[in-house]
Structure 1
Amino acid sequence: MVSADENRLLTESGPGTPGGDVLRRYWQPAALTEELDSDRPVVPVRLLGEDLVLFRDDQDRLGMIGRRCPHRGVDLSYGRVEDGGLRCPFHGWLFDVTGACLETPAEPPASTFHTRVCQVHYPVAERNGIVWAFLGDGDPPELPGLDCFVAPGPQVFAFKGMWGCNWLQAHEVGIDPAHAAFLHRFLGAADGTYGLQFRDTIADTDVTVAELMREAAAPDITIEPTPFGFRSRTLRRYRDEFTHVRVSNCIFPNAITIAMSREMSIFQWHVPIDDRRCYWYSMFVSYGNPVDAEVMRAQRISQVTLPGYQPIADESNNWGFDPVEQRERTYTGMGADINVHDQWAVESPGPIFDRTAEHLSPTDAGIRTHRRMFLAALRQPDADTLIGTADPGGLRGPGAIDGVTTGDDFDAAWRNLETQRREASGWAPALAD
């Protein structure tokens, strides 16, 4: 349980807020690269409570500037891409990717007025299907050396979706390994796109994930601090046959990485649009065969509406809830798409959950740890270094794996599996920790 003041500090992300200042010290996803794949590569962006516009100019340079023209406030997402920048249709003012005003053509030819105008702008970088933005003060740090950034392009697929809740609610479902045994439980064989990993047999066993979750619903969870945040190790003992070891990570302040399979991990950021809505951005990283991006996109694009990537299932249609299905097939009654299960879990408490009314349990160790870290960071705004900022390029991995062992050295078991897949990948660096 946190106080009302702590809940406000944890959930506010706009300009000038302590929490927003922390998030601005890190690169954040601003858009999918695919959103710029058109004859007019201009995308309105709302990020951390700021209205911005992302564009690719006619020289293939990326820029992100304030959405309101500094002249009369019109919406620059309707601007014209031409002459080395983005031109406002109202009076023709032209802005380049650095926010500099290049022209004010309605002024007399000898006017130098444009030299005294500069639009808000932020550094951006494109990496493996996502355009990243740095909204902090000063020069941006380098992007961290995480697997999702250093992997060859064919090994990564990126996608996003909108949730109607505060970013912290989205993040906290990702650092809660206990919920999978219930929220994603299948009463019979799993079916559907996102339930496949629950139907699949766990490597080196003849037990499906669904069977494991039903048999071993109460996990043993331990938290270990790391240079990038913390590692969560979840143990589930299946009868007397084996122990399932799952390692996931919190990448401070608002990202996670979890294992999707022995071959693939997911890196996911939970990014505030404002305090009541957020996007999740996922990067699916394969350590084996290249991803089939066309198939993966087709599976996911059918579940959202464009251009905002809002999910089709939401509160207005009860997240697809079917009481017959809940009785006979799934624990939630909301279909086989586990992303919808998570969406219900984070949206149904309301846009900003009142954490003064919650009762955290021992299995919520990751949630407690993250809140302590975030509160400590926002209360030290002048700290020279925050978690993972001292040497972002030195951060590698992190390892996210699930596997089984019949022994008692669980740390050695998962590290051995992680080392094997990194060596087999041909590109993934050795773990840094």
Structure 2
Amino acid sequence: METPTQPIVVKPRPRGADRYQYLTQTNAGTPAGELLRRYWQPVATSDSLPKDGAPQPIRIMGEDLVLFRDDKGKVGLIDRKCAHRCTDLALGRIEDGGIRCPYHGWLFDVNGRCLDQPAEASPTAKDRIRMKSYPIHEAGGAFWAYMGPGEAPLFPNYPALAGGDEFRYTTRWFGDCNWMQASEGNIDPVHTSYLHQLELTSSDMQARWGVFANQARPELAVEDTRFGVRLYTLRKIDGTDRSSIRITNFVMPNACAVGGFEGYLGEGGLTMLWDVPIDDEHHWRWEFIFHRSGQLDKAALAKQYESEKAEGDRMRRDKRDLYSQDRDSMKREAYLGLGECFSVHDIAITQSQGTIHDQTGEHLSSSDIAIMRARRMLDEGAKDVAEGRDPRGVVRAESENQFTDLVVVTGEIESTESKEMFCARYASDPTLFALNNKGVTE
């Protein structure tokens, strides 16, 4: 497929009190919009476009597109407006190797080429018509699009996107706010002890889920990686000389790799989240929950998630009544009073910041070091793009397309061991997230 070839004028990166506010803007031609377009972005779940399925409207970063599968099974993502008279191609017919506009019969293939103009006198006029189209890759239970210029980078071989459906649970949520505040919530290591606080009743739960209950002031540190930022969070364990350690990651430009509901299966699991702009006021929260054992309780996950969803992957709870917050439950098991689903907690709390979070009104503290580093890294990435360079995390070489260094661990560390050495032990273990085709843990 080909991407648009016309030059794009990128707006300058501002400075001042709202230095990073510009990163909330993601239309084509904005610095953040051009940065995000240099990476593969999820656009639809695989099961939403079955064989003989209807064309699917897609809105991403302010662009209106249509995703379709032709009658040969090929998948395309092209401009939603027909090149003839701007008819909505989501109404189109799937036939004859493409999608046919129902208004005058113009036919387009998955690459945006016009294959047929039934009423046109010239048999070669169609050869001069080319719709905007983007490359599509299917992985992790989703279709992904590359919307940048030139040759698409390699699709990143992240563990959470590898293997078959038995190793992963994929879902998404509609977010009624800007993408950036949602993304920053994923790399805020302190909020887990408050927003997601759990009641722990056993030593095993303490070991696996202690970070969601321990309110001790954590020791925080970050370090740059080739794909983003690594976060270390250590919390003292009362009555011992050990600390809980949680290693998570910001993955450029709008993803993260963290632990999640798969923790009960032990090592070999992680969750990756993408917050993908629909436009500047809405986003999709994508979740790819993975465990190498293939023993995820996907039925239980689906039951919990679907109980909180309305039609169109929207949250059932409505902000107009404060998300049906149960203040009585806050006295017992539910810190936020919004049930047990972490995704609901995250979506509600980031939406409460406003449609587009006003950074000039915030007072950042020492616990926000990961957020500040991520903002600077996005700023650096926007500069790289403006100056014609690939930003951090874009993969061009097969030798770089393995991610054993994308370490996600929740465990305990002795006071005599450094966090860096603890992390290095996992980074050097290529089997941590390796798939076990037998479907059982090694």
1:405 aligns with 2:409: no
Aligned counterpart in structure 2 of residue 47 of structure 1, from 49, 52, 60: 60
Judged with a 3 Å threshold, the aligned counterparts in structure 2 of structure 1 residues 321 and 295 are, in CA distance, closer, same or farther, namely closer
Which amino acid is the alignment partner of residue 246 of structure 2?
Answer: R
Which amino acid is the alignment partner of residue 384 of structure 1?
Answer: R
User: 1:141 deviation in Å?
Assistant: 0.9
Which amino acid is the alignment partner of residue 422 of structure 1?
Answer: T
Q: Describe the SS at the equivalent of 2:339.
A: coil
User: 1:64 deviation in Å?
Assistant: 0.1
Aligned twin of 1:350? 354
Contact 1:403 1:417 in 2 (8 A): no
Number of residue pairs matched by the alignment: 412
User: 1:158 deviation in Å?
Assistant: 1.3
Aligned twin of 2:134? 122
Contact 2:304 2:341 in 1 (8 A): no
Q: What are the superposed Cα offsets for residues 267-319 of structure 1, whole Å, 9 maximum, x if unpaired?
A: 1111000000000111111122344545533432332233x311111313311
Determine the C-alpha separation between the residues in 2 that align with 1:329 and 1:295. 20
Aligned twin of 2:94? 81
> Which aligned pairs between 1:182-197 and structure 2 lie closer than 5 A?
182-186=194-198, 189=199
Q: What TM-score do the two structures reach when normalised by structure 2?
A: 0.87
Q: Describe the SS at the equivalent of 2:34.
A: helix
1:328 aligns with 2:327: no
Contact 1:200 1:209 in 2 (8 A): no
Which amino acid is the alignment partner of residue 136 of structure 1?
Answer: G
Determine the C-alpha separation between the residues in 1 that align with 2:342 and 2:434. 28
Aligned twin of 2:370? 366
Aligned twin of 1:15? 28
Determine the C-alpha separation between the residues in 2 that align with 1:234 and 1:243. 10
Aligned twin of 1:251? 251
Determine the C-alpha separation between the residues in 2 that align with 1:94 and 1:326. 57
Determine the C-alpha separation between the residues in 1 that align with 2:45 and 2:29. 26
User: 1:323 deviation in Å?
Assistant: 1.8
Aligned counterpart in structure 2 of residue 138 of structure 1, from 146, 150, 164: 150
Contact 2:74 2:110 in 1 (8 A): yes
Judged with a 3 Å threshold, the aligned counterparts in structure 2 of structure 1 residues 211 and 29 are, in CA distance, closer, same or farther, namely closer
Aligned counterpart in structure 2 of residue 300 of structure 1, from 285, 296, 305: 305
Determine the C-alpha separation between the residues in 2 that align with 1:56 and 1:284. 26
Higher mean alpha-carbon deviation, 403-412 vs 157-166, is at 403-412
Determine the C-alpha separation between the residues in 2 that align with 1:150 and 1:340. 26
1:150 aligns with 2:162: yes
Determine the C-alpha separation between the residues in 1 that align with 2:433 and 2:137. 29
Q: Describe the SS at the equivalent of 1:379.
A: helix
Q: What TM-score do the two structures reach when normalised by structure 1?
A: 0.89
Contact 2:192 2:211 in 1 (8 A): no
User: 1:98 deviation in Å?
Assistant: 0.1
User: 1:209 deviation in Å?
Assistant: 5.9
Determine the C-alpha separation between the residues in 2 that align with 1:321 and 1:222. 34
Aligned counterpart in structure 2 of residue 287 of structure 1, from 278, 283, 292: 292
User: 1:184 deviation in Å?
Assistant: 1.2
Judged with a 3 Å threshold, the aligned counterparts in structure 2 of structure 1 residues 328 and 216 are, in CA distance, closer, same or farther, namely closer
Higher mean alpha-carbon deviation, 358-367 vs 314-323, is at 314-323
Judged with a 3 Å threshold, the aligned counterparts in structure 2 of structure 1 residues 327 and 98 are, in CA distance, closer, same or farther, namely same
Which amino acid is the alignment partner of residue 350 of structure 1?
Answer: G
Determine the C-alpha separation between the residues in 2 that align with 1:421 and 1:331. 38
Aligned twin of 1:176? 188
Q: What are the superposed Cα offsets for residues 163-210 of structure 1, whole Å, 9 maximum, x if unpaired?
A: 111110110000101111111124xx3xxxxxxxxx5856xx563666
Q: What are the superposed Cα offsets for residues 53-97 of structure 1, whole Å, 9 maximum, x if unpaired?
A: 011111110100000111111211111111110111111111100
Contact 2:291 2:433 in 1 (8 A): no
Higher mean alpha-carbon deviation, 18-27 vs 206-215, is at 206-215
Q: What are the superposed Cα offsets for residues 308-353 of structure 1, whole Å, 9 maximum, x if unpaired?
A: 3111113133112122122333221122212111112210111101
- Aligned sequence identity (%): 33
Aligned twin of 2:71? 58
Judged with a 3 Å threshold, the aligned counterparts in structure 2 of structure 1 residues 299 and 207 are, in CA distance, closer, same or farther, namely closer
Q: Describe the SS at the equivalent of 1:284.
A: strand
Which amino acid is the alignment partner of residue 390 of structure 2?
Answer: T
> Which aligned pairs between 1:409-428 and structure 2 lie closer than 5 A?
409=417, 410-416=419-425, 422=431, 425-426=434-435
Contact 2:92 2:101 in 1 (8 A): yes
1:106 aligns with 2:114: no
Aligned twin of 1:387? 392
Contact 2:159 2:433 in 1 (8 A): no
Contact 1:31 1:132 in 2 (8 A): yes
Determine the C-alpha separation between the residues in 2 that align with 1:211 and 1:142. 37
Q: Describe the SS at the equivalent of 2:217.
A: coil
Determine the C-alpha separation between the residues in 1 that align with 2:33 and 2:211. 40
Determine the C-alpha separation between the residues in 2 that align with 1:211 and 1:285. 20
Which amino acid is the alignment partner of residue 52 of structure 1?
Answer: L
Judged with a 3 Å threshold, the aligned counterparts in structure 2 of structure 1 residues 269 and 69 are, in CA distance, closer, same or farther, namely same
Aligned twin of 1:272? 277
Q: Describe the SS at the equivalent of 1:412.
A: helix
User: 1:427 deviation in Å?
Assistant: 5.6
Which amino acid is the alignment partner of residue 280 of structure 1?
Answer: R
Determine the C-alpha separation between the residues in 2 that align with 1:421 and 1:359. 41
Contact 1:151 1:427 in 2 (8 A): no
User: 1:34 deviation in Å?
Assistant: 1.4
Judged with a 3 Å threshold, the aligned counterparts in structure 2 of structure 1 residues 158 and 390 are, in CA distance, closer, same or farther, namely closer
Determine the C-alpha separation between the residues in 1 that align with 2:87 and 2:229. 44
Determine the C-alpha separation between the residues in 1 that align with 2:76 and 2:318. 33
Q: Describe the SS at the equivalent of 2:411.
A: strand
Contact 2:114 2:129 in 1 (8 A): yes
User: 1:414 deviation in Å?
Assistant: 4.4
Determine the C-alpha separation between the residues in 2 that align with 1:392 and 1:346. 36
User: 1:426 deviation in Å?
Assistant: 4.8
Give structure 2 stretches of 5+ with no counterpart.
Answer: 1-14, 438-442
Aligned twin of 1:376? 380
Contact 1:44 1:77 in 2 (8 A): yes
Contact 2:156 2:395 in 1 (8 A): no
Determine the C-alpha separation between the residues in 2 that align with 1:331 and 1:279. 25
Aligned counterpart in structure 2 of residue 71 of structure 1, from 48, 67, 84: 84
Determine the C-alpha separation between the residues in 2 that align with 1:201 and 1:284. 25
Q: Describe the SS at the equivalent of 1:233.
A: strand
